[in-house]
Chains A and B, each alone.
Chain A
Amino acid sequence: MAAIGLECAPTDGSLMNQNAASSVIDLSEIATDRRRDTISGRETGRATRERLGVSEQITGSDQVEIRIPEHVRVITPSFFVGLLASDISLLESIDDAKEVFTLTNASDTTQLNFDHAVSTILGRGSPFDSIQSRQKKFSFLSSWKTKK
């Protein structure tokens, strides 16, 4: 199992289990207003990360539970990206991320949005990947023109 914030995470399963730690990110503080049933925005995600001290809280954890207040119906992918991108991007694969981070009280859409955020961070590259080979050709052409 992967661990957050440990760049040299031990691969020995038994050791990991001995040191297994879990942490909780409780989002109820950002939705004290019960009318707030949508949480959105990458900027809000980043601010929440700082406010809740997410970075310190989850370092070394094998399991991170994200508690969502019951009245919140939607959390957008960009919020999750702002909140967790720097941690998730350290993981190897989408499966690792889904194993480490679990949502409680999440609606279907929030769960889908979280999966989308994870696949955005860890998934395959941008649409421009398809033109990588062509890009090399362009750079070759431009250098050739400069030399000429």
Chain B
Amino acid sequence: MPNRRYFVNRTKEGAANRLNLRRFDRKRRRKRRLQVREIVRRKQSQALLNGLAPDRNSTQRATLRKLSERNNRISLDCFSFLDSPEETILRLVEIAEVDAVGVKYSIDFEDEYCLDVGPYMLLGLMQQEMAETCDGGKMSRPLMKVLEAVGLRTFLKMGLFPINAVNDVLPVRLTTHSGIRQNRLGFESHESAKERVARRFSESINNWLMALRFMLTNNGSDWVRSLLAEVLDNSRHANPADADGGWSVAGFMVARERADGTPRFICHIGIVTLGATFAQSLLNSEEPKILSNIRSYASAHKNSSELYDYDALITTCALMDKVSCEGTYADRDIGGCGMSSLINMMNGLGKSSRSDEQPEMAIISGNSCLALKPPYNQMEQVDQSYLQAFNVEQDLNQPPSDAHVYKLKHRVPGTVISLRFTIDPNNLSESVV
């Protein structure tokens, strides 16, 4: 009976439509307009995919051939900006190209552990723009635990993982912000998204330390909060048109066992900003003094190595205190200090006596890569400001090392900052006052 009634109603509805052709036609046109709008919206909102792989719509045949050679499988091995930035971006570009083709494919995550949270965050941001044609793939259990705890599983649009409650990963839960300014006047009487994230971030760092029977002092907690708010504040340079770029923050601490059986507490933090890169922001500066300084530096060293270019050298300048794309007052540089504070925090918490556990940071901005690894993983204080010149003398007159500053074959439309450090309770005991 229900079926019959349904049938009768449909017939009546059809008849009504036939009797009122104008109304029906209007509805059809409206539906079509909505479809066109959806297609345009989807095309417009693929800024990240199109930025990563600008030719992705024109190389469909080549992509299909490559994919079929690999049985429609994409393998992500050593998926880390800290360990192999070039390969990692290449794999992300490949995924962006495959999405344009529109065939079913699967992604195999070959790493046993999460080596870097940054690429997963970028893949998650890509997923927001991609068609849902990924058909699953392989993943290890420790990696599942991390993605689940951090909140990346749902962000990556993955199904439920076959794991129980995750108790051994301490996360900084993923927070993303689209970058659309809620209050165009900039005057906010309520806590902004950046400030809320900064607060939660300091609470998470405190949780990491409390797991090791330490805790941040009130001042320490305030300092961590202050530095993350400063770093996130840089995202407003990323999209000059909208005056605020989109950003994402995530991280986690996990215990792993060393070869000698002792526990190692590894911490990962990722910060992704989409929009203009560091170099683009600095070169967009309207401050002649800053522009002249960074241009002189980049021009002086751009021929020192084939591995880096003008943009990579400009990106190096972004790490320095008092270098910012905005603001000199009365001919004084008043750039920020967010990046140097972040690097100082990493070295403060991640101080280690083991040579293979030194803090590391990778900054991928556009097609520039800065690898802050030993011996250049710390900021050097010169006069009253911090800098990292990536050479032994810490002298800006000397060119930076091309093993630490280099250009990549592909570009990310924004900036990814990945940090990895090990908290050593013995070293922390020495730092406790």
Indicate which residue in B226, B290, B320, B323 contacts A74 across the interface (CB closer than 8 Å).
Answer: B226
Question: In this assembly, does B145 line the interface, its C-beta being within 8 Å of a C-beta of chain A?
Answer: no
Q: Say yes or no: B190 contacts A77, CB within 8 Å.
A: no
Please tell me which stretch of B85-93, B103-111, B257-265, B292-300 contacts chain A, meaning at least 4 of its Cβ atoms lie within 8 angstroms of it. B292-300
Given A33-B190, A73-B225, A131-B296, 15 further pairs, Cβ under 8 A: A33-B191, A37-B199, A40-B198, A40-B232, A47-B187, A74-B229, A77-B226, A78-B233, A90-B330, A120-B335, A121-B329, A126-B321, A128-B293, A138-B299, A138-B300
Residues A11-65 near B (CB distance < 8 A): 29-33, 35-44, 46-48, 50-51
Q: Say yes or no: A107 contacts B218, CB within 8 Å.
A: yes
Residues A58-93 near B (CB distance < 8 A): 73-74, 76-78, 81, 85-86, 88-90
Indicate which residue in A40, A110, A119, A134 contacts B192 across the interface (CB closer than 8 Å).
Answer: A40
Residues A108-148 near B (CB distance < 8 A): 108-110, 113, 116, 119-131, 134-135, 138
Q: Say yes or no: A39 contacts B195, CB within 8 Å.
A: yes
Please tell me which stretch of B116-124, B276-284, B378-386 contacts chain A, meaning at least 4 of its Cβ atoms lie within 8 angstroms of it. B378-386
Q: Say yes or no: B190 contacts A126, CB within 8 Å.
A: no
Complex CA–CA separation, A123 to B333 (angstroms): 9
Question: In this assembly, does B25 line the interface, its C-beta being within 8 Å of a C-beta of chain A?
Answer: no
Q: Say yes or no: B191 contacts A36, CB within 8 Å.
A: yes
Complex CA–CA separation, A32 to B293 (angstroms): 42
Residues B203-261 near A (CB distance < 8 A): 218-219, 222-223, 225-226, 229-230, 232-233, 236, 243
Q: Say yes or no: B384 contacts A123, CB within 8 Å.
A: yes
Q: Which residues of A contact B294 (CB under 8 A)?
A: 128
Question: In this assembly, does B83 line the interface, its C-beta being within 8 Å of a C-beta of chain A?
Answer: no
Question: In this assembly, does B334 line the interface, its C-beta being within 8 Å of a C-beta of chain A?
Answer: yes
Residues B334-359 near A (CB distance < 8 A): 334-338
A residues lining the B interface (CB < 8 Å) = 29-33, 35-44, 46-48, 50-51, 73-74, 76-78, 81, 85-86, 88-90, 107-110, 113, 116, 119-131, 134-135, 138
Question: In this assembly, does B5 line the interface, its C-beta being within 8 Å of a C-beta of chain A?
Answer: no
Q: Say yes or no: B187 contacts A48, CB within 8 Å.
A: yes
Question: In this assembly, does B326 line the interface, its C-beta being within 8 Å of a C-beta of chain A?
Answer: yes
Q: Say yes or no: A42 contacts B229, CB within 8 Å.
A: no
Complex CA–CA separation, A33 to B189 (angstroms): 7
Q: Which residues of B contact A44 (CB under 8 A)?
A: 186-188, 192
Indicate which residue in A38, A124, A130 contacts B384 across the interface (CB closer than 8 Å).
Answer: A124
Q: Which residues of A contact B327 (CB under 8 A)?
A: 42, 81, 85
Q: Say yes or no: B194 contacts A40, CB within 8 Å.
A: yes
Q: Say yes or no: A77 contacts B337, CB within 8 Å.
A: yes
Q: Which residues of B contact A138 (CB under 8 A)?
A: 296, 299-300
Task: Report 24 cross-chain contacts, Cβ distance below 8 Å, ordered by A residue.
Answer: A36-B190, A36-B195, A38-B229, A40-B194, A41-B229, A41-B233, A43-B186, A46-B186, A48-B187, A74-B226, A77-B226, A85-B329, A86-B329, A89-B330, A107-B219, A109-B222, A116-B337, A120-B321, A120-B322, A120-B334, A127-B322, A128-B294, A131-B296, A138-B299
Q: Which residues of B contact A33 (CB under 8 A)?
A: 189-191
A119 in contact with B384 given A31-B189, A109-B223, A127-B323 (CB within 8 Å) = yes
Residue of B nearest to A108 (CB): B219
Q: Say yes or no: B300 contacts A134, CB within 8 Å.
A: yes
Residue among A76, A116, A120, A135 having the largest count of chain B Cβ atoms under 10 Å: A76
- Shortest C-beta distance, A98 to chain B (Å), equals 15
A47 in contact with B186 given A113-B226, A126-B385, A138-B300 (CB within 8 Å) = yes
Q: Which residues of B contact A128 (CB under 8 A)?
A: 293-294, 296-297, 323, 396
Complex CA–CA separation, A123 to B383 (angstroms): 10
Complex CA–CA separation, A46 to B236 (angstroms): 14
Q: Say yes or no: B323 contacts A38, CB within 8 Å.
A: no
- Shortest C-beta distance, A79 to chain B (Å), equals 9
A122 in contact with B396 given A47-B186, A109-B219, A134-B300 (CB within 8 Å) = no
A73 in contact with B329 given A40-B195, A41-B236, A128-B297 (CB within 8 Å) = no
Residue of A nearest to B386 (CB): A127
Residue of A nearest to B229 (CB): A40
Q: Which residues of B contact A77 (CB under 8 A)?
A: 226, 230, 336-337
Residue of B nearest to A110 (CB): B222
Complex CA–CA separation, A74 to B294 (angstroms): 32
Complex CA–CA separation, A106 to B383 (angstroms): 27
Q: Which residues of B contact A110 (CB under 8 A)?
A: 222
Q: Say yes or no: A43 contacts B330, CB within 8 Å.
A: no
Indicate which residue in A50, A107, A126, A135 contacts B323 across the interface (CB closer than 8 Å).
Answer: A126
Question: In this assembly, does B58 line the interface, its C-beta being within 8 Å of a C-beta of chain A?
Answer: no
Complex CA–CA separation, A123 to B188 (angstroms): 30
Q: Say yes or no: A76 contacts B233, CB within 8 Å.
A: yes
Q: Which residues of A contact B82 (CB under 8 A)?
A: none
Complex CA–CA separation, A127 to B294 (angstroms): 11
Indicate which residue in B195, B198, B326, B397 contacts A130 across the interface (CB closer than 8 Å).
Answer: B397
Q: Which residues of A contact B329 (CB under 8 A)?
A: 85-86, 88-89, 121
- Shortest C-beta distance, A111 to chain B (Å), equals 10
Question: In this assembly, does B332 line the interface, its C-beta being within 8 Å of a C-beta of chain A?
Answer: yes
Question: In this assembly, does B96 line the interface, its C-beta being within 8 Å of a C-beta of chain A?
Answer: no
- Shortest C-beta distance, A135 to chain B (Å), equals 5
Q: Say yes or no: A127 contacts B396, CB within 8 Å.
A: yes
